[in-house]
Chain A
């Protein structure tokens, strides 16, 4: 179906130069692509931190977004005009969270139970962590997310 193209000796030099050009531009494109990839990736990484880690790294974290993992302190939930305010703890450190939007239904049990949550947001200008998304792990419901001694959820 295919036949090799005959190459005259004159055109080999030209072909070789063209090939080199193609190879160089491919390398350049690949390098640019890798840099773009690295930059975009590092800009969009969300660190997952326990309350202790988050409070410790607060100054260097600035207002970058992160996921804060802990348990809701029973009875700490109060309603605000735009959502709820509550405290999360990992057993060692406790932080206040101001959440915009309604909390998941699971919060109805928050007066009595310690509910494991992951809050997504950033440290605000005030004391509290400003959250706009609360994740509750679905996982396998017969074994609710485990909380080890440090209070951190075990990586799944």
Chain B
């Protein structure tokens, strides 16, 4: 029954997208407005199908219907409710249902937002491309990755989700966030293709998808940070990022997407970088598909490779089509893509943006090379290898520092050309603050020059942001005669895009500080403890009080109770644990973390108590980790601010203050 509903939904989705593509295609060819209006409606058919498929699978999971192979493999009667619901994205086939649902949601959102412009060829083309992408994913589910495959005879119980996926509640929100980010880049992609197809590659399509891009970017950022948090709280090695292929796969579109949301501003303002922007959008979308291919086809070894499946060739073919269409269209339109503007001075906002984009592109290249190099080497040399973390760290650190510097300087630079006087007024004080911070950091004996430079640049950037906010608020206060809290709010409301961006930058600076602090000032030791025996490690004294075993149907867990004191203050009892799940060979550790503003104490149970009541405990002191998560929150807040409608609705001349909430039809060739 559920399988029938599910397969029916998949078929409905496939048919709706096929019809949508055909009707829109014919409508565009014949310039028939009625057909374009009709074609748009198929988006809602796709949405209905995706919702139905999602509900069918959740229904099957919640009712533990093991006649479905997917439910059998990713659920058991003893699986708790939360992980039963989250089971939908615990494995490949289910994840594609979520992917299709999110995609259909975005398409319907766009179809509704542009309902008054359904006969506009740009919107029609974008809808057509979006439906074609949806068609691919529905076809994937009908074909090689069918989530509704049945088993006969029906097993009495399922295998349950992978233990790693049923050990922390973050599992319920991290993948959906990531998917909202990944899939969200389909909208900018489809508008970019539409702009190329219609020849309207001016600034109109950028304005149309500004919000969608920001929303996708915000979700992707939060998704990546939640992934790091999950890794920190679950995997038990005390870190949050290991340059694992799956992590890289989420970082790659983030890098090109971030480059895009910056370079868009240059095109809006100066009409430059058109080819570059189109390429970035197409690259971002391609990288989401490449990431899915790398992580889901099993070509790369990864701690995340929960599945191996036959969808690899499908994804690779789809990627090839996307890249070929994108590159082909750009080449075809090349002569008409010449930018009307050019850079006047190397010290200007636009050159800073250009620098930012080059660095982001370089970062993406470095990460991509390190990620796919094992594949290349195996294909060319026939040797299996992996690229070590030092490669990524050594290559990305200097690039990151340049970005931090640009982040401190760029928002203060005027467009076109900067005069020395302006630079001095805007940058002198922040630069002094940054320089002093760097000297103080050096004197205090930070580890190496890189750390001091990071702290200095971070202070430089923060001071610059603070200056800009204060200046803005003061101007509003003077103009309206209000006190500073109201003036700050007014300033933000008057230009949410600018201040939202500055808030995002603040979050990124916090993350940069946390990255350096946690990698340089963390220690790890392993200690063996017998019962009631106390050891001193890294300033903490730890006493092993004994162990406790809890036994539920889901898992059997051994908790080691460890009393923690620091400088005579009791910090409580931490209980790192190891759980074993029925039917699984290896146990899964659960670290115990005492989170603090400056440092975390991170305990892991390395080996469970022996008969002689001896345990081995991993003791890690990690610096400033919590600021990664706080920084992520600040970034999310800034993104929300940037999405607010502006009070200065009509000031379309200034893109930093422009609001594009109202649909407007700009003819592409603005030059």
Contacts and interface: CB of A to CB of B under 8 A. Distances in A.
Contact of A155 (B162, B271, B341, B378): B378
Contact of B391 (A40, A104, A106): A40
A42 to B, nearest CB: 9
Contact of A48 (B342, B362, B386, B526): B386
A137 B308 CA distance: 14
B470 to A, nearest CB: 30
A65 B606 CA distance: 24
Interface in A108-138: 109, 136-138
B159 A142 contact: yes
Interface stretch (B222-230, B471-479, B581-589): B581-589
B282 to A, nearest CB: 22
Interface string A21-44: 000000000000100110011011
B652 to A, nearest CB: 10
B271 A2 contact: yes
Nearest to A107: B607
B3 interface: no
Contacts of B606: 102
Contacts of A106: 585-587
Interface in B364-412: 366, 369-370, 373, 377-378, 383-391, 394-395
B301 to A, nearest CB: 5
B305 to A, nearest CB: 6
Nearest to A142: B159
B586 A138 contact: yes
B79 to A, nearest CB: 15
Nearest to A109: B585
Q: Which of B369, B386, B526, B606 has the most CB of A within 10 A?
A: B386
Given A1-B270, A33-B362, A44 B586 contact: no
A37 B395 contact: yes
B300 interface: yes
A102 B607 contact: yes
A47 B269 contact: no
B340 interface: yes
Interface string B132-164: 000000000000000000000000000100111
B570 interface: no
Contacts of B587: 105-106
B435 interface: no
Contacts of B271: 1-2
Nearest to B616: A102
B394 to A, nearest CB: 5
Contacts, number: 104
A78 interface: no
Main DSSP-derived SS at the A contact region: loop
Given A2-B270, A47-B384, A48-B384, A41 B373 contact: yes
A44 B585 CA distance: 32
A144 interface: yes
Interface in B431-475: none
Interface in B553-607: 578, 584-587, 606-607
A39 B585 CA distance: 41
A5 B585 contact: no
Nearest to A4: B340
A35 to B, nearest CB: 13
A156 B607 contact: no
Contact of B164 (A105, A109, A138, A155): A138
B298 A156 contact: yes
Contact of A1 (B386, B578, B670): B670
Contacts of B387: 41, 44-46
Contacts of A41: 369-370, 373, 387, 391
B362 A44 contact: no
Contacts of A140: 162, 305-308
B135 to A, nearest CB: 29
Contact of A5 (B162, B164, B342): B342
Contact of B578 (A33, A105, A141, A144): A105
A43 B389 CA distance: 11
B382 to A, nearest CB: 11
Contacts of A43: 390-391
A52 to B, nearest CB: 14
Contact of B308 (A2, A49, A156): A156
B344 interface: yes
Contacts of A4: 340
A101 interface: yes
Contacts of A101: 526
A41 B340 CA distance: 40
Interface centre among B377, B390, B584, B586 (most CB of A within 10 A): B586
B1 interface: no
Nearest to A22: B346
Contact of B671 (A2, A49, A137): A2
Interface in B334-359: 340-342, 344
A135 to B, nearest CB: 9
B603 to A, nearest CB: 14
A27 B269 CA distance: 29
The 7 nearest A-B residue pairs measured at CB = A44-B391, A48-B384, A2-B341, A44-B388, A47-B385, A44-B390, A102-B616
19 contacts: A1-B269, A1-B271, A1-B670, A36-B395, A40-B391, A41-B369, A44-B391, A45-B373, A45-B386, A48-B383, A48-B386, A67-B386, A103-B607, A109-B585, A138-B164, A140-B162, A140-B306, A141-B586, A156-B305
Given A37-B366, A141-B163, A142-B73, 9 more contacts: A1-B269, A33-B362, A41-B373, A41-B387, A44-B389, A46-B388, A138-B586, A141-B584, A156-B308
Interface of A: 1-2, 4-5, 33, 36-37, 40-41, 43-49, 65, 67, 101-106, 109, 136-142, 144, 155-156
